[in-house]
Structure 1
Amino acid sequence: MPSSPTTASANIPKEVSSFSSFHSTFEITETKYSVRILKMHKSTFIYIGINGREFLDEIGIAMPMADSPGSVVNTVALGPQLGCDSQQLAQKLAKRLNKQIYVSCNIPFDRMVMPLLEKNLVKIIQENPEVV
């Protein structure tokens, strides 16, 4: 008699995942923002969006250069090539954290909000260093 799917799956060894996730919210000028952080092996993905209106519109990637300490290389994986807030934020975080960073910052650009958003994100990372 053939084995049932439950019996067959019971023999699969379980491994510990190298991924972990974190979620937080904060408020700036009466707008609530959502931050989701996915820690992966040697890299981190950070999503930032308006709480309740979450979508993936752009992704910036940055990583430290192995042969040039303090230098970071970056690009846009999804979204506009010019003026990508995700790319700029990924570059700052990769330099600060010295690791590969993916950022998806999906909020309308506002020169007053962006510095406050970065400040809140850095605070989250400082208070929860295990998430990156």
Structure 2
Amino acid sequence: MAKVEYISPTFALHKFNGVVSERKIIYQVLKMVDSLLIFINDKDNMQLSSMFMALPNRYDNLPVGTRLFGDFMEEETSKGIALRITKKLNKTVFVSCNIETDRTMLPLIEKRIYEEIKERPEVF
């Protein structure tokens, strides 16, 4: 008779919040083996309207990336975040940023992610 062996899960979920321009921003990070999935929303019900993927490039120090699905206009927000975090952490990063942003909000949204990376590196 076969024996069932239980193993520890390799996925870990981390949730944190931030306030940008008086709006509550909700971040969820799903840590996987050698990759991250980051959801950014401003509502309690998490949406998934677009996703961008960036991965390290073995031939250059700049990561490469592509839009997996979603609106072209939403791509720019997720794209920038994914590329910069991939470069910093040297791992594949999927980003779904589902909020309407302007040029002043985006750096603050991303800054909150970097603060969390510094405070809790084990969840990234």
Give the TM-score of the pair, scaled to structure 1.
0.85
Tell me which residue corresponds to 1:14: 6
Equivalent residue number for residue 24 of structure 1: 16
Q: CA deviation at 1:96?
A: 1.1
Please give the secondary structure, in 2, of the residue aligned with 1:12: coil
Over alpha carbons, which structure has the higher Rg?
1
2:62 corresponds in structure 1 to: 71
Runs ≥4 residues deviating over 3 A: none
Number of the residue aligned with 1:43: 35
1:101-116, aligned counterparts within 5 Å? Answer: 101-116=93-108
Spell out, residue by residue over 1:43-68, the C-alpha distance to the aligned partner (whole angstroms, 9 max, x if none). Answer: 01111100324211110100111232
Please list every run of 5 or more consecutive structure 2 residues that lacks an aligned counterpart in the other structure.
none
What runs of 5+ residues in structure 1 fail to find an aligned partner?
A: 1-10
Given candidates 88, 93, 117, the residue that maps to 2:109 is 117
Cα distance, 1:109 vs. partner?
2.3
1:97 to 66, 80, 89: 89
Question: How far apart in 2 are the matches of 1:60 and 1:50?
Answer: 18
Aligned residue-pair number? 121
Which has the larger displacement, 78-87 or 31-40?
78-87
Q: Percent identity?
A: 31
State which drifts further: 93-102 or 49-58: 49-58
Secondary structure of the residue that 1:122 maps to in structure 2?
helix
Q: Which whole-Å deviations, capped at 9, do the CAs of 1:95-128 have from their partners, x for residues lacking one?
A: 1111100000111021111111111111011111
Deviation at 1:38, TM superposition (A): 0.5
C-alpha root-mean-square deviation of aligned residues, in Å?
Answer: 1.4
Calculate the TM-score normalised by the size of structure 2. Answer: 0.90
Q: Secondary structure at the match of 2:93?
A: strand
